[in-house]
Amino acid sequence: MNADLVVVGSGLFGLTVAERAANELDLNVAIIDRRSHIGGNAYTENEEQTGIEVHRYGAHLFHTSNERVWDYVNRFTDFTDYVHRVYTRHQDEVFPMPINLGTINQFFRAAYSPAEARALIQEQAGELAGTDPQNLNDKGIQLIGRPLYEAFIKHYTGKQWQTDPKDLPASIINRLPVRYTYDNRYFNDKYEGLPVDGYTAWLERMADHPKIDVRLDTDFFDDGHDYSRSAVSGQVPVVYTGPVDRYFDYAEGDLSWRTIDLEQEVLPVEDFQGAPVMNYPDADVPFTRILEFRHFYPQRNYTKDATVIMREFSRFAEKGDEPYYPVNAPVDREKLLKYRDLARGEDKVLFGGRLGTYKYLDMHMAIGAALSMVDNKLKPHFTGGASIESGGVDA
């Protein structure tokens, strides 16, 4: 074994740790990943028939207000001037999202001023105005009024969670953005864009270092290779970014996740929906949204003879599914407390990333957390001899 550090998982968290460990700390780093590609869920590839770049695990839009993260990612890629805008198709009419003055006036066939729209929403919250609802359904009505909530949020959320919103905690939507202007930019961050050459090119540059050894199609839990759990445990520090319950062989039970099923189709038209993302909030449509990838890069000279769309279906994950979003129900939090204690008892193992910490992390959050781990855990150990306190799982 020639590694000073083993990183399990090549998503953005793992790649950031590996890149900093090699470039800043001059360490030999082994990255292993059970998949056949690097990049985790941010991986993209060109669709064979059309050449259109497809986000293999659903849409990934980069945005951040973190100056350090923005400076860091710009070492590996330039970004386009893409600004994410979402539309929603309700009862065969298309509205801009998130809910803004344009959505409100179109929905009510009115020309309300910002003050008039605010007063209307307050009135439509009815008896829930000024209260503290504990379920998602009532919280949604309180925040945006019953008509808008039932049109755009209720059934969409029900499809996402496969659960009646009355049975979901209010914390899922502690705030629903309503803009009393015509601004329909989806994100509010200072920086936003897509990597000019695509995500995979960016991520490959992060791993392109003589001190980084990438091993794909390699499972940490399979014996018989140099960087298996049995081979490295207690020998070298490990940054583990896989599912935390899997690391402990589900000793405290399975944590609950939502997953998505993606149905890709090539259509013989230049443009299917005129936008990158179209939500479908109505109960009689089984999917939650349709992605059309040509619109992520309008500057590219894609074919005019075909387009690629992807329908997204949401459901609870089962064994063997890709976990996307932590459910984080009370029973999950109880299990996570136990896994946190188990993680602290490991020998030189740091848990990170979305799966390793059971937290939903946007891309910029994963990168920021990885940079913090390097600063606060790995650098003191490798440059100053500080011991590594295992853990990283919070509850």
Which residues does the annotation mark as catalytic?
A: 175, 179, 258, 289, 312, 360, 362
Residue-wise pLDDT for 41-83, tens only, equals 999 999 999 999 999 999 999 999 999 999 999 999 999 999 9
The full set of domains in the chain, from first to last, is 5-46+204-255+328-392 (3.40.50.720), 97-172 (1.10.3110)
Q: What is the pLDDT of residue 178?
A: 86
Residue 177 C-alpha from the chain's centroid: 19
User: 257 φ, ψ to 5°?
Assistant: -135, 155
Kindly report the CA angle at 137 between 57 and 253, in degrees rounded to 5?
Answer: 55
Report how far residue 351's alpha carbon sits from residue 244's, in angstroms, rounded to the nearest whole number: 8
Place of tokens 């829930």: 128
Over residues 150-169, mean pLDDT: 91
Residue among 354, 387, 355, 352 at smallest CA distance from 371: 352
pTM: 0.94
Beta-strand pair 277-279/86-90: parallel
- Whether 306 contacts 338, CB under 8 Å: no
228: helix, coil or strand?
A: coil
Lowest pLDDT segment from 80-84, 143-147, 246-250: 143-147
Buried b (16+ CB within 10 A) or exposed e, 147-167: ebbebbbbbbbbbbbeeebee
Beta-strand pair 62-64/349-351: unpaired
Residue among 182, 201, 185 at smallest CA distance from 81: 185
Residues 6+ apart with CB under 8 A from 285: none
- Whether 94 contacts 87, CB under 8 Å: yes
Token pair in block for residue 354: 């979305």
Q: What is the pLDDT of residue 370?
A: 98
Residue-wise pLDDT for 145-158, tens only, equals 999 999 999 999 99
